[in-house]
Amino acid sequence: MIRFLSLLVVILVLGITEMAAQSSYTTEDKKAIKYYEQSALQIRGRDFNGGIELLEKALLRDPAFIEAHLRLASAYKVLLRYDLAETQYREALAVDSLSKLNFDTYFALGLMIYDKGEYKEARKYLSRYIQTNPNNAGREGLAMDLIKNIDFALDLMSKPLPFNPEPLPAPLNKYVMQYFPAVTADGKQLFFTVRKGNTANDDEDIYVTRQNDDGAWSEPEPISDLINSQRNEGTSSVSADGRMLIFTSCQAPGGFGSCDLYFVQKEGDTWGKPQNIGQPINSSGWESQPSLSADGRTLYFVSDRKGGQGKRDIWVSTLSARDNWMEPVNLGPVINTEGDDLSPFIHVNGQSLYFSSSGHMGLGKYDLFLSEKNGLEWSPPKNLGYPINTKDDQVSLVITSDGTKAYYSHEVVGNNRDFQSSLYTFDVPEEIRVQNKSNFLTGRVMDIETKKPLGASIEMFDINDASLNYKVTSDKVDGKYFVVLTEGKEYSIYVTRKGYLFENLTFNYLEKKSREPEVLDIYLTPIKAGATSVLKNIFFDVDQYVLKEKSKTELDEVIKFLKDNEQIRMEIEGHTDNTGSTSHNSELSTNRAKSVYDFLIKAGIPKERLQYKGYGSTKPKVDNSTEAGKQLNRRIEFRIL
């Protein structure tokens, strides 16, 4: 529905149309009429105070002068003195509620009261306006839409959610304005935009604070002298591991539009030099409010470029296999509206999108919404409800990886219309939590022999459909890596680096249950004769040797490894536990190894590079006395020849 920017236009139009010349008035006082007509010249000349003074003189002579009340209301609205404007509208209705001059007054007053969040009274005035049978289809339609929205708002308010926001403690919230928070997946780093004054001329910079093991936040500090400048930098988004930042900078030399998106990466403890993210992300329009996926390979952002659904829309782009950003795609009419759709936040699960909108039904100018992605489709946005949403603007929100805690900025307008904003947090009500919570796996990648940190590629696949869910690199300085694991899937993770055997891991997150973060150092083995690697994601039914379909992801990784290292020859080894006879185990392990061998040959790997052998239970990895031990001993392994 058309919301508040349109309402402002309608209000101003009302104020202008009532200033048209008239042949008769609701007063016979000639002096009052003279003051009234003189006020028109003052107001058209933008001398509102002079016009107001004349109108007040007219009303002193005749308090029942409806036209003077209406013009005075219009003048007060232009000056943003809404309480005084409302008083004048009510005075006009008190003179004669049935006057045709007051038919539009019902509409104007209904809009103003709606904007104050007094929904029941606003509904009364808007309904009265419709009853006048107005000769204005657009305005009548807007009144009807607003009544629907009021009913929606009243229903939400009748079912309030638990909501107990708290400001973040000292040393945070020390500046006049701090807003647009962004948090790493482990919840230990919080990035936000700072403005030390409350005017548009005050510089915006990006700050960061870190949380210690006791939950206390550190003194906020500028993120980097290479990032912050004399221009405005803000509205940032950070990858799950805190090593890639996308932010907005406006009016920068060499930019594509009024505001562009920039990216910067961190190695070790040092941020690099920011770069314009370039086309096709940036355009001649306005790009801002980025939100990165956990692995930094999908980017949601806001733009007013052509081809959208309304004014400012949410768009998405992904990195190609060659690490180039693809042409952005509009999220479409399910998410975007004729109004403004802003501040996207994609949860680390990659499926839950929180955003702000002036176009979906809500309680105020901008409300917060949640949509869940299912395949390629987005669910109809769900209003986050009352009192998270109110009559005021709710613009930005980020949610922790477990879905339980939110961070947002709360803005307060002072008596002099000066703005202040602070960072707040609250526990997310169960009704609006993400469908699938996320956890994370972290640690370091190192050389198994030298223990030297390694920069390596880390890819995570959904085993059951072989889709790539996540792709990152470990830090080449300290070897640190960070991978997000989300409920509802079974994952295989591959860690690769040129000159090393790949390492593979498996994680079953199909069941929804409470999980702690996992810390695991990964050691890569240099490629040399005798080096071995266990294929942890090869699957067979019990006592069978036919490869299960979900083994394909692992086998594709072996094929890629062999194609990248054409000089390598390998033996595929089959192993079992000690259950069953020696002859049976030898035969089963041989057949399983051959199944893998046959798959690789069929995929185009030359026979002379491969051989296979079954070892039965003769080479256990661990003791067979436990079921867990037996499971580790049942394996397919390859050995470099």
Question: 166-432 architecture in CATH?
Answer: 6 Propeller (2.120)
pLDDT in tens, 504-521: 999 999 988 888 889 999
Eight-class DSSP state of 327: P
Mean pLDDT of the chain: 91
6 pLDDT higher than 60? no
Top-level CATH class of 4-157? mainly alpha
Using CA atoms, how far residue 610 sits from 110, 439, 526, 568, 613, in Å, is 80, 39, 19, 9, 10
Q: Which two tokens stand for residue 72?
A: 């005075």
Domain positions in the chain are 4-157, 166-432, 438-640
Q: Which two tokens stand for residue 428?
A: 């997310």
- Least confident interval from 77-81, 199-203, 247-251, 414-418: 414-418
Contact yes or no for 425/441 (Cβ under 8 A): no
Give dist(CA 105, CA 483) in Å, integer. 59
Q: What is the pLDDT of residue 93?
A: 96
pLDDT band at 466 (very low <50, low <70, confident <90, very high): confident
Average pLDDT over residues 130-152: 92
Average pLDDT over residues 529-547: 93
pLDDT in tens, 280-305: 999 999 999 999 999 999 999 999 99
Strands 287-292 vs 275-276: parallel, antiparallel or unpaired: unpaired
Distance between start and end Cα atoms, the chain: 68
3 pLDDT higher than 80? no
pLDDT in tens, 561-612: 999 999 999 999 999 999 999 999 999 999 999 999 999 999 999 999 999 9
537 pLDDT higher than 50? yes
Q: Is 232 exposed, middle or buried (0-12, 13-18, 19+ CB in 10 A)?
A: buried
Q: Helices in 529-609 by DSSP H: which ranges?
A: 552-564, 582-602
Give dist(CA 641, CA 633) in Å, integer. 22
pLDDT in tens, 405-459: 999 998 877 666 677 899 999 999 999 999 999 999 999 999 999 999 999 999 9
- Least confident interval from 107-121, 149-163, 311-325, 403-417: 403-417
Half-sphere exposure in the Cβ direction for 66 (13 Å, CA): 19
pLDDT band at 14 (very low <50, low <70, confident <90, very high): very low
Give dist(CA 107, CA 525) in Å, integer. 75
229 pLDDT higher than 90? no
Half-sphere exposure in the Cβ direction for 604 (13 Å, CA): 7
Percent of the chain with pLDDT over 70: 95
Average pLDDT over residues 355-360: 95
Residue 131, number of CB atoms within 10 A of its CB: 10
Instruction: Tell the CATH superfamily of the 438-640 domain.
Output: OmpA-like domain (3.30.1330.60)
21 pLDDT higher than 50? no
Element (H or E) spanning 74, and its range? helix 66-78
Using CA atoms, how far residue 484 sits from 293, 471, 512, in Å, is 10, 10, 15
Give dist(CA 398, CA 392) in Å, integer. 18
Eight-class DSSP state of 526: B
pLDDT band at 1 (very low <50, low <70, confident <90, very high): very low
pLDDT band at 22 (very low <50, low <70, confident <90, very high): low
- Residue 469 main-chain phi, psi, to 5 deg: -100, -20
Give dist(CA 311, CA 307) in Å, integer. 10
